[in-house]
A and B are shown apart, each in its own frame.
Chain A
Amino acid sequence: MLYFNLISFFLIICGALVLGLQTPDIAASARVYPLVLMALVLLFSLLIVVKEIADRAATAPLDSRIAEILSAPPPFRIRLFGFVAIWLVYSWLLTLAGFIVATTCAISLSLWLLGIRKVLVGIVTAALFSMVLSILLATVLFIPTPLGPLDKLLIESIYAMQH
């Protein structure tokens, strides 16, 4: 795990340097504070790197939860990756397909991927949840959601009913 640590601290150093490259654009008075922080980040990253290399034998193992995930059988890791991917795609789909459709799809898929036995129940729950939540958001909480065709229809019919 030494290499993982070294690469990680190298990346942190790079991150600080990339920010450092932008400092000439900043007004002098607003530059001092971040520059001091950058120097401190560099200093401590280097110190830790030196220490890690020095007591190479004593390098502690990875965090136990993370190690558990990394040592899990491949199908588990693929499904976990799938879970994360669903929610990343969901955020992107939300603006395209609208709230109701995207949320229903994402919840159903996620439940299926994590191994729910009654898939149909999952889909119905997901659809009901998205509908109820979207009505609640539109009529009580007034949180605007990304509107797809279905959402627009729902909101317009609520509006027509109120008038």
Chain B
Amino acid sequence: MLEGLYAAMSPTNLFVEILGVLIGIVFGAIPGLTATLGIALFVPVTFLMNPGAGMIMLAGIYAGAIFGGSISAILINVPGTPASIITGWEGYALAREGKAPLALSLAALSSGVGGLFSAVALLFLTPMLSSLALTFGPAEYCALLLFSFTIVTVVLDTPMMRNLLGCFVGLLLVTIGLDPVTGAARFTFGNADLMSGFNLIAVLVGFFCMTEAVFLAFDSLDDSTNNEVISFGKGNSIGELIKTLWTHGITYLRSSTIGLFLGILPAVGPVETPFIAHTIERKFNPKDEKFGKGSITGLIASECSISANVGGSLMPLISLGIPGSGAAAVFIGALTLHGLQPGPLLFKSEPVLIYTFFWGFIAVNLFMMLFGMFGARYFALVLKLPKRVLATFIAVFSILGSYAINNSMFDVGVMFGATVLALWFRALRIPILPIVLAVILGPLLEQQALVLFTTSAGIGEVLGRPIADGFFAISLIIIVFSIVRRLKESRAKPG
């Protein structure tokens, strides 16, 4: 273990740690370029290095990109990666209040805390915790997914019927493609491109990036108003940030744990994690009026959980060879190309390399935190750009980003379609969030429900699984509580 520490501190490795994080931050901050794409693109570059340095660099890109996405989310309300959607809500609202520096450095701090939490867990608990990935069968996944949908539809203040409709429309949209039972085309109207379904990244770029470009373009037309997006506001003391570690300590801990746990699960990645962590934290802070509209607690919950998820997803990857997210799957490919097969044997055959990587991952998170906390003012240079320039370049990157996923113009079309859908549903006051969650989790839900129905003997077998029961019970309690609350509210204001 110590040998790994020394190796991780070698000048070469320190250099790739910093380089990886910087590349990741830039990559993540550009709308349309995701962590997965970043890792995939830099795999060939790592061939020039030894496997340890290569792995650390990719981990740096992964962690950096996840944080970088939050920078553009906070400053211009355009999530650079889909993982930053929730951070964008809270952070952009804070930024509009003139607290952009606070939001940015707080995002960096909580991202760092979450990352370090998971990195330490990675270092000491990997063999123990990674077996969690195997205890999750179809019953558990179905229960967890039901739980996620429940909290999202129940928590939003918009009318329940619209939340549910959004959810079902999203779930229905992602059934287009190849069906999971027979592998035959379903709802494709004979169109070959549709057989791959709607690409998730393209849909999310349309929902959040292109839509925002349209709004920014509209705002820039009126020359009479201030053409800067928001003013950056005054700097804040690091002391103030550190203080949140005490005042919001429990939030940090809770969200990091949730992020880590969801990261270990093979089917839940950084995109869906903040939704769950954020809503759970909201349940624990019922008095925080600003939740979703510029809450510090909400921002910490979102960022902590995403970064902890990154470390969590590396656990089953290293010790079982099972990827915990899309980015992790590319990571496995990269390791394999370096001649390392991630899995149960890797720990035994390459212990020094693994521990070098684990220590390197800790260093990566430290660098990310430092860059974020002290570099906030430089990121903010983006805000000096006029809105018309921002709108133009967000549009370019939204199109190029969608194209680069599969080198396909069809995905660009999907991105435009998603933009139209987002604007239309916004006009209808159907919230976008349930649709987003449905689009992200829909395929997993159908797949797991299918496995559950083909393999389980009956309802008794499902109820015999305590983890699943726990999620079902919590979902039920949340539903009952929210019905009671809504009834009370409607009685309070007659008519």
Contact = CB atoms under 8 A, between A and B. Distances in A.
Direct contact of A and B (CB under 8 A): yes
Nearest to A60: B429
B422 to A, nearest CB: 11
Contact of B162 (A19, A29, A48, A66): A48
Interface stretch (B138-146, B164-172, B361-369): B164-172
Interface in B411-433: 412-413, 416, 423-424, 426-429
B53 to A, nearest CB: 18
B215 interface: yes
A91 B168 contact: no
A51 B160 CA distance: 13
B399 interface: yes
B171 A19 contact: no
B246 interface: no
Contacts of A8: 424, 427-428
A22 B189 contact: yes
A111 B393 CA distance: 10
Interface in B183-218: 184, 186-187, 189, 214-215, 217-218
Contacts of A40: 164, 168
B65 interface: no
Interface of B: 41, 44-45, 161-162, 164-165, 168-169, 171-172, 175-176, 179-182, 184, 186-187, 189, 214-215, 217-218, 220-223, 386-389, 391-393, 395-396, 399, 403-404, 407, 409, 412-413, 416, 423-424, 426-429, 446, 449-450
Contact of A45 (B165, B181, B186, B217): B165
Given A12-B169, A33-B446, A45-B165, A141 B41 contact: yes
Interface of A, secondary structure class, is helix
Contact of B427 (A9, A37, A62, A103): A62
A65 B426 contact: yes
A65 to B, nearest CB: 6
26 contacts: A12-B165, A19-B176, A27-B184, A33-B446, A37-B175, A41-B168, A44-B161, A48-B165, A51-B161, A62-B429, A63-B426, A63-B429, A66-B423, A76-B222, A80-B218, A83-B214, A90-B399, A94-B399, A95-B409, A106-B396, A110-B388, A111-B389, A115-B220, A115-B223, A116-B389, A143-B41
Interface of B, secondary structure class, is helix
B41 A91 contact: no
Contacts of A103: 396
B181 A44 contact: no
Interface of A: 4-5, 8-9, 12, 16, 19, 22, 26-27, 29-30, 33-34, 37-38, 40-41, 44-45, 47-48, 51, 60, 62-63, 65-66, 68-69, 72, 76, 79-80, 83-84, 87-88, 90-91, 94-95, 103, 106-107, 110-111, 114-116, 140-144
A30 B181 contact: yes
Given A22-B189, A48-B162, A114-B388, A30 B396 contact: no
A33 B283 CA distance: 31
Q: 4 shortest A-B CB distances, which residue pairs? A: A114-B388, A30-B179, A44-B165, A30-B181
